[in-house]
Amino acid sequence: MGWKNPLTLAFCVLFGGLILARPCAAQTDDAAAEAEADAEVEAADATEEEPAAAAAPTPVDTGNNAWMLTSSALVLMMTAPGLALFYGGLVRKKNVLGVMMQCVFLMGINTVVWALYGYSLAFGGGADNPYIGNADYLFMKNVVPVWDEAAKTVVYPMEGSITRLTHMVFQGMFFIITPALIAGAFAERMKFSTMVVFTILWGTLVYCPLCHWVWDGGLLAYGAANSAGESVSLLGGALDFAGGTVVHISSGISALICALVLGKRLGFGTEPMPPHNLTYTTIGAALLWVGWFGFNAGSALSSGNLAASAFVATHFSAAAGAVAWAGMEWLTRGKPSVLGACSGAVAGLVCITPACGFVQPIPSLALGLAGGVVCFLACTTLKRKLKYDDSLDAFGVHGVGGTLGAILTGVFATRDVADPLVSGGKVMGLLEGGSVLTAQIAATAVTVVLAAAVTFVLLKILDATMGLRVSQAEEVQGLDLSQHGEEGYIFI
């Protein structure tokens, strides 16, 4: 089968949803008309009685809402220009636009998926649906504002102290960047058309279930209980403040599977493949560092004390990671590199992500140091021994760093920092006598198995139907020209 058929089908399914969404709006209009007619009848009958006062809409906390909108923009900035520049500088110059196109296109296609059904699968139903979300938010139903005839005003559905619209768009930015991280493993050799279909399917079958399990009261959520008061969490649930399992372990493990299934780039191990523009990579890393404040501190879903704690922990860990990786290079090679410092900062950021809302500042330095050292060894010694071609070290940084961070969260987490509504006032991490470490390990294992199994099956199906790799001639030519008909650098 040619690549056009499944790709066309994927787009038809996505954008057909936009057409299906219109009847929902029509039904809303009909319901509103019926409600208005009923209200007129009731008003006509109520000649003796004073009508009951309409319930006031839940007020939005404008400070929290403003911070969450800012955080949403910061997280989107992480994908482009942040990740686009970081990855773009690491590939050879004939593939720079290919990497940037992947990032920019995923900002588009994943937003559409999230709006149509992704948000509903990830956040619909809560603990009463412990395995996957329901249809509560399909096509933005119960998310967008509606006119309240009784109150004579526009009512915005709420998610805590912020509008659900704000919550939806913030979480959607995570849905965008997570599969973009995987692209670092198959850079310079995967067909763009196949990448698009893979991303849609991966987001649906891996990201949405994991997101629901961890952040919407599913089977990996800490202390999750359904409406009957029954626990639905595996071993009591794990702590993941901003995406250690949902984002980094899932994308990192999937990246390794992609690298193994696609095979090595032509000339890998025999030809030099240095980064073509470390200036891009440095700028991209700095943008990622800044954007990560929205990623982690924004996950507090408020602008209060917990956001401040997560912000500081994030910064401290990134700083320690940069020092650790560059220091390892200094010790083993005699010179620290700017690429090492940038990679170390990202490793520190990855490692602190699950822990940032649960640990104190000094332990966050320890997590950053551990992330910098361990990820350095994974991207050098481990990669060299196992001889896999993870082009831009997506597994070595995100898979290894995310796993390390998830486990160390179970060591350093403390009720001194955690939201009391989450901790319940109970001790949490190993160092304060808690038992959450076991659940952290279990959640990590579940995430690894799900991501690896689904990714492998998807790649095999797509390889049989569309083909995964570009031809040898196209790979030699470069993805900029062969996939997009453009060049990153034209000197006239």
Q: Does some domain include residue 28?
A: no
113-117: long-range contacts, CB 8 A cutoff, minimum separation 24: 113/14, 113/175, 113/200, 113/203, 113/204, 114/168, 114/171, 114/172, 114/175, 114/176, 115/139, 115/140, 115/172, 116/14, 116/17, 116/18, 116/21, 117/17, 117/204
pLDDT at 28: 41
Q: Give the CATH number for residue 249.
A: 1.10.3430.10
Q: 């990622």: which residue's tokens?
A: 288
Domain that holds residue 332: 62-484
Q: Does some domain include residue 47?
A: no
Q: Does some domain include residue 400?
A: yes
Q: Does some domain include residue 102?
A: yes
Q: Which of 392, 263, 147 is nearest to 156 (CA)?
A: 147
Q: Does some domain include residue 17?
A: no
The DSSP result for 206-267, as a single string, is IIHHHHHHHHSS-TTBTT-B-TTS-B-SGGG-B--SS-IIIIIIHHHHHHHHHHHHH-PPTT
* Domain count within the chain: 1
**Structure-token pair, residue 232:** 């639905």
Q: Does some domain include residue 32?
A: no
Residue 335's Cβ-side half-sphere holds a number of Cα atoms within 13 Å equal to 3
Indicate the burial class of 47 (C-beta count within 10 angstroms; 0-12, 13-18, 19 or more): exposed
Q: Does some domain include residue 166?
A: yes
Digit-by-digit pLDDT tens for the chain (492 residues) are 444 455 555 555 555 555 444 444 434 444 444 444 454 444 444 444 444 444 566 789 999 999 999 999 999 999 999 999 999 999 999 999 999 999 999 999 999 999 999 999 999 999 999 999 999 999 999 999 999 999 899 999 999 999 999 999 999 999 999 999 999 999 999 999 999 999 999 999 999 999 999 999 999 999 999 999 999 999 999 999 999 999 999 999 999 999 999 999 999 999 999 999 999 999 999 999 999 999 999 999 999 999 999 999 999 999 999 999 999 999 999 999 999 999 999 999 999 999 999 999 999 999 999 999 999 999 999 999 999 999 999 999 999 999 999 999 999 999 999 999 999 999 999 999 999 999 999 999 999 999 999 999 999 999 999 999 999 999 999 999 999 999 999 987
Distances (CA, A) of 388 to 230, 340, 382: 45, 20, 9
